[in-house]
Amino acid sequence: MIAAEPAAMPAAAPPAAVPPSLRVALRALRPVLGDGLRVGEDTPTLEHLAMRADPPAVAGCLALESGASRRLPVAAAPLIAGFLDGIQRSRLVGHVHGTPVVLATVAAAIRVRHERQLQAWATPLVERRLFVSRRAVGEAAWAAVDASGVPITDLSPPETGSEPADLPEHPHLLRARALDQVALDRERLERQLAAQWCATESRWLWIDGGLAGNLAITAAAPAFGVVKSHATLYGDAAALRMVLALREGERSPAFLVGHRPRRAVASWYLRLRDAAHGDPLFGLVRVEIAPPATLLDPEIATADGREAFTLHVDRLSSAILLERAPISLPDARWDTLTYGVHACERYLQAVIGS
């Protein structure tokens, strides 16, 4: 595994190339939306409306370690140098012929630690895009929206021949489809920055979220993902009882999660803080790394290789425990939201504006 190097003074990141502001984009859309134009600053984002969510589930996995939970010491010195996060903001700005027009902004950035301060690493990535169904609004309205100067994406589904071409689509279905595409855009920017880091850095990077589809994260890459939400829990009945009973500073044995169509990742649960009021998910995170190839092939796996993997997982877990302070209050997610990621999120909010 790659060892951390002393933090070097990061070069000043160039200012982000921010696309047209929300106010400018709304002004350009006024001739198209007319009185139906909604004021962006007062409009709740579609993300806050939470139109749908994945149902809670339990999934199986393949054990990489055996035994009981492990209590870990807190690292004596920081191992993690950078924090990567992305944000998205999707606003319903109006309707054309009853069809929603969504204006979305996605951004991603890395903040790197230098002398106890967080600074920008590389240039933050920012994109702004309109989402509308071309088939629903018609060519004249599409051309007018396209002329606004903001990139535009068609929400119309591909023609399959299984349904009448003129069958209308539910407005909320189009909103949900826009949210799905916005999330993919945000993940693309996050993967791009992670790839840049892994190609140029040997210091460790904390990625907020999982490693889904991130081909830049190999077993030799100095990066790991931290998942804070648990719509899906992994393990059999005994393993889950162990996970939900973890105490502060304890981790579960590692396991292999096969996220198709992406490759499998090695993962484990870590309790950052004792469960408040008995909530078994309070302070619980799940860490993801790319597994060493030797662990994936039983024919070449060795006892020394498994021991080295366990020591590596312990070292990363101890480094994560050190990042619990300072606490990211008043954010409601403070029990699992490290301050480095929280600071990165606030920085991105300042970058994209309203």
pLDDT tens per residue across span 327-349: 988 888 999 999 999 999 999 99
Mean pLDDT of the chain: 84
pLDDT tens per residue across span 131-187: 999 888 888 888 887 887 788 999 987 765 555 556 678 888 898 899 999 999 999
Q: How confident is the model at residue 1 (pLDDT cuts 50, 70, 90)?
A: very low
Q: How confident is the model at residue 10 (pLDDT cuts 50, 70, 90)?
A: very low
Model-level pTM? 0.85
E-strand ranges in 36-116 read: 57-59, 62-63, 70-71, 80-96, 99-114
311 in helix, strand or coil?
Answer: helix
CA distances to 23, 111, 175, 193, 352 from 19, rounded to whole Å, are 11, 21, 22, 18, 9
- Looking at residue 3, its pLDDT comes to 43
- Looking at residue 151, its pLDDT comes to 87
- Looking at residue 81, its pLDDT comes to 95
- Alpha-carbon distance of 348 to 88, in angstroms, equals 10
302 in helix, strand or coil?
Answer: coil
Q: How confident is the model at residue 194 (pLDDT cuts 50, 70, 90)?
A: very high
- Quote the percentage of the chain above a pLDDT of 70: 81
For 121, what's the count of Cα atoms within 13 Å in the CB-facing half-sphere?
Answer: 27
